[in-house]
Amino acid sequence: MNASRLFGTALQYAFLGLAAFLSIFPFFWMLISASNTSIDIIGGKTSFGDAFATNVTNFFTQVDVPLVFWNSTKVAVLATVLTIVVSSLAGYGFEMFKSKARERVYSLVLLTLMIPFGALMIPLFMMMAKTGLINTHIAIMLPTIASAFIIFYFRQSTKAFPTELRDAAKVDGLKEWQIFFYIYMPVMRSTYAAAFVIVFMTNWNNYLWPLIVLQSNETKTITLVVSSLASAYYPDYGVVMIGTILATLPTLFVFFVMQRQFVQGMLGSVK
Amino acid sequence: MADVRLTDIRKRFGSLEIIKGVDLSITTGEFVVFVGPSGCGKSTLLRMIAGLEDISSGELTIGGTVMNDVDPSKRGIAMVFQSYALYPHMTVRENMGFALKFAGMAKEEIERRVNDAARILELGPLMERKPKALSGGQRQRVAIGRAIVRNPDVFLFDEPLSNLDAELRVHMRVEIAKLHKALKSTIIYVTHDQVEAMTLADKIVVLRAGIVEQVGAPLDLYDDPNNTFVAGFIGSPRMNFLNARVISSEAGYITVALASQPDVKLSLSAQSSAAKPGDEVSLGVRPEHFRPAGQGDADLVLDVDVAEHLGNTSYVYANVSPDERIIVEHEGFRSADSRDRLTVGVSAGSSFLFDSAGVRIR
């Protein structure tokens, strides 16, 4: 190996090492902080402490953990399932049905990607207020169901779905909705898995919109609870980090369970 | 089994007409092949029969019933696709039985039909496999099996062998021919491969740009083509067309001289009124119809360009003149090299005459 190639390899490893450090360090810091007291954390302690059990006890004392997790799980799972069903139907429709208006409508859908959420917050809040949905979980889910990005993702993936499968299914006697549920969905399961991971993470981590529409403690999700712990007058950072760990676990679980399908889905479902 | 009748069938996409009025009658048990170059509309026509494309105008009947607006699954057809179109998430058994299960057929009857088809197609050991674990030929057999179990009136094949390698294609061609013999069913088969058309068909329908150019038995099309398109399309290598001029036209014979070699004159049996002296025509000669020098009605001198030696025969690509290149099948021409000069005989009896519009002069 000559000197310039050695230097290039060393540079690659240095870059990858830095990227790995930047990715892993927050988790490492989170675990260290969860085992220390607030005073140790503020003091910059970077080793494991012995306050883990105390922090856990305090977290469970201060937070109604089953209720908060139930709220987050309910909202994230329902919103994810609804988003995927609605957006995949739209993506399938945009790709399969040809009409003169199709591309114009699709462009409008994509245009909504350009509108920042900040511009939609007030109109959405007014809509929710007028329909009496403030402080309900439906109010969190409704605006997320028709996702322009997921529609785009499904339309692009549907391009790889063989049209002859659809033709064969028609000859076999299936109606369009049956083709969608019996043929398209199983064939595109990797695409669905990847979409599930993306949408579930987005919904689980959703913070701003729930902060606006959820007003009572009974409806709050984990992100709001952790945030409220951190913004207390004297925040207990050890307890906050326990909350952060617990809030991270479900998304990690979903990702690791669906990792293979996620990668397949991002590369294309149909081989 | 049923007959199929197409009456002035047309297909339009906006102002563009793809199928321009097809009239066709297919009798029960007949093996009909739609053949033509890419984009001629043969697959569109098949999809219209299947119900996968709407019919813009005209009438389609299967077994005497008008099928224009009938759902594909209710037309009594089964279709085999070019890419097999097997459901990738189902096993071979599930693929074959899916349509029957969906139609609400009893489990025992599905099992019986699937097993019968598997036996005919020798699919027994593959029944629990998924399509991705099968070779191309096996997938195609499963696709055919999926069609067989439906016991359709009409089988539709859309270029089913195009994705297979040359050897497997020949094997599957024989399998399909055997299947037709065994089932005695009506088959409509689309291909752009004229060898498939010639070997499989009872009747060939030659299409060009949405129009039926000629319908007939394979050898009838080979022996008696209506125009230069059919003459060129049927037969491999394709027919040679030599520029010629009519010298005389009388007593049931038309005598022509080649434009490039005026000494080469041939008198062909044809209606004298079809051409008059001075008319420009094309003389069609198939590569396999050239004779050794002196054994035809006239001799043609060629400059050899390239020779392909296939073992049993050789194809010689040669120039009649700098602008006219032809192919000659020449047995025992193994030592030929480029720039050799070759003399071959042409017989009037195996040549064809076409007018300047490409229409056959008979």
Tell me which residues of chain B have a C-beta less than 8 Å from any C-beta of chain A: 47, 50-52, 71-74, 77-79, 81-83, 85, 87-89, 98-99, 102-103, 132
Q: Which helix (H) or strand (E) holds A252?
A: helix A237-257
Task: Kindly indicate the confidence band of residue B333, based on its pLDDT and cuts at 50, 70 and 90.
Answer: low
Residue B175, pLDDT above cutoff 90: no
| Residue of B123, B113, B108 whose CA lies nearest to B152 | B113
Give A-chain residues touching B74 at CB under 8 angstroms. 173
Tokens 């339009």, residue located? B12
| Residue of B137, B109, B141 whose CA lies nearest to B127 | B141
Distance of residue B161 Cα from the nearest chain A Cα, in angstroms: 15
> What's the rounded Cα separation, in Å, for the pair B57 and B213?
20
Give the mean model confidence (pLDDT) for residues B146-163. Answer: 92
What 3-state class would DSSP assign to B4?
Answer: strand
> What's the rounded Cα separation, in Å, for the pair A205 and B96?
45
Residue B274, pLDDT above cutoff 90: no
What is the per-residue pLDDT for B184? 87
> What's the rounded Cα separation, in Å, for the pair B166 and B140?
14
What is the per-residue pLDDT for B337? 60
Out of A167, A173, A186, the one facing B99 most closely (by C-beta) is: A173
Out of A165, A171, A174, the one facing B50 most closely (by C-beta) is: A171
> What's the rounded Cα separation, in Å, for the pair B126 and B134?
8
> What's the rounded Cα separation, in Å, for the pair B196 and B233?
13
Contacts by B103-111, CB closer than 8 A, 24 or more apart:
B103/A173, B103/B73, B110/B149
CB B149 within 8 A of CB B118: no
What letter represents residue A67's amino acid? L
Beta bridge partners of residue B187, listed in sequence order: B31, B155
Residue B339, pLDDT above cutoff 80: no
What is the per-residue pLDDT for A210? 94
Mutate to test the interface with A, among B89, B153, B154, B163 (most CBs of A within 10 A): B89
Give the mean model confidence (pLDDT) for residues B28-56. Answer: 95
Retrieve residue B271's tokens. Answer: 């209606």
Residues 166-195 of A with CB under 8 A from B: 167-174, 183, 186-187, 189
Low-confidence stretches of chain A (pLDDT beneath 50): 271
Domains and CATH numbers, chain B: 4-233 (3.40.50.300), 240-354 (2.40.50.140)
Task: Kindly indicate the confidence band of residue B238, based on its pLDDT and cuts at 50, 70 and 90.
Answer: very high
A64 φ/ψ sector (left φ>0, alpha ψ -120 to 50, else beta): beta
> What's the rounded Cα separation, in Å, for the pair B82 and B46?
13
> What's the rounded Cα separation, in Å, for the pair A267 and A262?
9
Q: Which helix (H) or strand (E) holds A138?
A: helix A137-145
Out of A167, A174, A186, the one facing B85 most closely (by C-beta) is: A167
> What's the rounded Cα separation, in Å, for the pair B350 and B284?
9
> What's the rounded Cα separation, in Å, for the pair A186 and A183?
6
DSSP state of B278: T
| Residue of B323, B14, B31, B38 whose CA lies nearest to B177 | B31
Residue B283, pLDDT above cutoff 60: yes
What is the per-residue pLDDT for A1? 62
DSSP state of A159: T
CB B112 within 8 A of CB B62: no
> What's the rounded Cα separation, in Å, for the pair A243 and A223?
9
Tokens 């050239």, residue located? B290
Taking an 8 Å cut-off on Cβ atoms, the answer to whether A183 and B102 are in contact is no
Give A-chain residues touching B73 at CB under 8 angstroms. 170-174
Q: Which residues of B70-86 are buried (b: 16+ CB within 10 A; e: fewer)?
A: eebbebbbbbbbbbbbb
Apex B51 CA angle, B47 and B54, nearest 5: 85
Retrieve residue B194's tokens. Answer: 């004229």
Residue in A with minimal Cα distance to B14: A100
Tokens 């790889």, residue located? A160
Distance of residue A127 Cα from the nearest chain B Cα, in angstroms: 43
- pTM of the full predicted structure? 0.83
Domains and CATH numbers, chain A: 65-236+244-268 (1.10.3720.10)
Tokens 């005209």, residue located? B58
Say what percent of chain B tops pLDDT 70.
97
Taking an 8 Å cut-off on Cβ atoms, the answer to whether B85 and A165 are in contact is yes
Distance of residue B50 Cα from the nearest chain A Cα, in angstroms: 8
C-alpha pair distances (Å), A199 with each of A71, A144, A206, A254, B266: 17, 9, 10, 11, 79
